[in-house]
């Protein structure tokens, strides 16, 4: 057995932990590029108000929507003009990725595109990133502990990653209380992302014993709390479970990769205006079904088949649960959450060829437990319509 595990240098988790931000930030720099959502919930606004009293200068960079290549060029220019020596992100995955990519590129010359996988020149970072502190306010992406930032390119109609081991945050400060204000529709889509991210690394052929422990713990917590954060937004125990599921998913995916759901999601997110989590929700049941069918037909000895079974048992707290039970539970959850099929976001059969071609070369697709054929990939899209 051989594996490697890398994560944020320091992870601090728990209700109220965000109050440590002024002290922690002071230890890392003097002038922060502060990346936030354009709309700030009260708890975030209150936290930001405490930063100047700690002697920290701030250059604000508000973000709306998922980050693009152009947005990172803008954030980098703002940070250079202000002389920032630290980046802090307080927000959802979009805000965290904006901060993470900016921290990586501020000391590296050229444009963001130069450094991107797949659509860019894939240049390596010459200088190490600036110190980076991430505080998630959604429970979905786990981006506070991953080494990539997902960026959209309008020109290439795709989302790709800027990735480097040194992009892992210096501090991931995960305070579930910051997620209490997330509205039900966002709790639903981000929660589905979190669930996907503890399932895909568990069946990935790159899974290792550390990521296995994280995934099974995340599956248990998602099983008991995913529906509860939607129905009871102020339920602190459920919010805490989902914040932890998201964190565990980030830790697992950064070390064991993902699978076909995320292989597709990057491409679909670049082509249509659909929330990342809603894309995951629509794709998850058909991907599980296609993977299990392909494994049974072509690789019946593949350990992923048993792993799907175990995943169902953790998710449903039931030793007799089958992969079919898990698929039914996930589909039913999507219906409770009122998450539409992908046709609602503009997905059309005419685009299937382009989507399959682009998805096949994505980094996440490489974690899928079995290589799916073009026809199998198209059938997944058809089922997610």
Of 102, 138, 211, 291, the residue at the interface with ligand NAD (CB under 6 A) is 138
Asked if 268 touches ligand NAD (CB under 6 A), the answer is no
Count residues near ligand NAD (CB under 6 A). Answer: 30
* Residues 27, 56: Cα–Cα separation, whole Å: 10
Asked if 137 touches ligand NAD (CB under 6 A), the answer is yes
**β-strand 158-163 against 148-153: which pairing, if any?**
antiparallel
Judged by CB under 6 A, the chain residues 56 through 75 that form the site for ligand NAD are 66
Which stretches of the chain are DSSP H helices?
21-28, 42-49, 69-82, 93-105, 184-203, 209-231, 236-256, 260-271, 276-298, 304-316, 323-336, 352-360, 374-384
Judged by CB under 6 A, the chain residues 74 through 93 that form the site for ligand NAD are 91-93
Q: In angstroms, give the least distance from the CB of 374 to ligand NAD.
A: 24
* Residues 193, 35: Cα–Cα separation, whole Å: 22
- Looking at residue 164, the DSSP 8-state letter turns out to be -
Asked if 176 touches ligand NAD (CB under 6 A), the answer is no
Site string for ligand NAD, 183-202 (x = CB under 6 A): ---x---x--x---------
By the 8 A CB rule, do 174 and 13 touch?
Answer: yes
Q: In angstroms, give the least distance from the CB of 239 to ligand NAD.
A: 10
Of 39, 155, 296, 324, the residue at the interface with ligand NAD (CB under 6 A) is 39
Q: What is the DSSP string of 194-259?
A: HHHHHHHHHHSTT--HHHHHHHHHHHHHHHHHHHHHHH-TT-HHHHHHHHHHHHHHHHHHHHH---
Residues 6+ apart with CB under 8 A from 357: none
Asked if 323 touches ligand NAD (CB under 6 A), the answer is no
Judged by CB under 6 A, the chain residues 269 through 288 that form the site for ligand NAD are 269, 276-277
What does the angle CA 203 – CA 208 – CA 214 come to, to the nearest 5 degrees? 75
Residue nearest to ligand NAD (CB): 92
Nearest residue (CB) to ligand NAD, 91 versus 120: 91
Nearest residue (CB) to ligand NAD, 251 versus 295: 251
Question: Applying CB under 6 A, which part among 8-16, 24-32, 36-44, 204-212 lies near ligand NAD?
Answer: 36-44
* Residues 187, 229: Cα–Cα separation, whole Å: 7
Asked if 37 touches ligand NAD (CB under 6 A), the answer is yes
Nearest residue (CB) to ligand NAD, 97 versus 241: 97
Q: In angstroms, give the least distance from the CB of 255 to ligand NAD.
A: 12
In 3D space, the residue among 93, 288, 259, 277 whose CA is nearest the CA of residue 195 turns out to be 277
Site for ligand NAD, rule CB under 6 A = 37, 39, 41, 66, 91-95, 97, 137-138, 140-141, 143, 146, 148-150, 159, 178-179, 181-182, 186, 190, 193, 269, 276-277
């Amino acid at each position: 057995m051989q594996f490697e595990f890398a994560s944020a240098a320091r992870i601090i988790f728990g209700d109220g932990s965000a109050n440590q931000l002024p002290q922690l930030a002071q230890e890392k720099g003097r002038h922060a590029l502060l990346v936030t959502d354009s709309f700030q919930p009260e708890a975030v606004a209150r936290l930001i108000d405490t930063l100047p009293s700690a002697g920290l200068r701030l250059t604000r960079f508000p973000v709306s929507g998922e980050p693009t290549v152009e947005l990172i060029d803008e954030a980098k220019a703002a940070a250079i003009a202000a002389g920032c020596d630290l980046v802090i992100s307080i927000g959802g995955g979009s805000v965290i990725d904006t901060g993470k990519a900016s921290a990586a590129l501020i000391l590296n010359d050229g444009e963001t595109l130069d450094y991107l996988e797949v659509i860019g020149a894939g240049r390596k970072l010459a200088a190490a990133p600036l110190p980076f502190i991430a505080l998630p306010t959604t429970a979905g992406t786990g981006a506070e502990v991953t080494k990539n930032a997902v960026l959209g390119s309008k020109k290439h109609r795709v989302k790709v990653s800027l990735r480097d081991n040194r992009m892992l945050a210096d501090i991931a400060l995960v305070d579930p209380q910051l997620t209490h204000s997330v509205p039900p529709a966002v709790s639903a889509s981000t929660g589905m992302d979190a669930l996907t991210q503890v399932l895909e690394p568990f069946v990935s052929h790159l899974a290792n014993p550390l990521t296995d422990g994280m995934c099974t713990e995340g599956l248990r917590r998602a099983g008991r709390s995913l529906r509860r954060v939607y129905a009871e937004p102020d339920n602190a125990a459920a919010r805490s479970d989902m914040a932890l599921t998201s964190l565990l998913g980030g830790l697992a995916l950064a070390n064991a990769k993902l699978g076909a759901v995320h292989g597709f999601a990057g491409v679909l997110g670049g082509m249509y205006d659909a929330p990342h989590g809603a894309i995951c929700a629509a794709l998850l049941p058909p991907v599980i079904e296609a993977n299990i069918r392909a494994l049974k037909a072509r690789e019946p000895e593949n350990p992923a088949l048993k792993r799907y079974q175990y995943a169902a048992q953790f998710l449903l707290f039931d030793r007799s649960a089958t992969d079919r039970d898990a698929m039914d539970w996930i589909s039913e959850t999507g219906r409770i959450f009122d998450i539409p099929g992908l046709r609602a976001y503009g997905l059309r059969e005419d685009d299937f060829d382009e989507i399959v071609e682009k998805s096949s070369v994505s980094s996440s697709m490489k974690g899928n437990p079995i290589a799916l054929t073009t026809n199998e990939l198209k059938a997944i899209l058809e089922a997610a319509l």
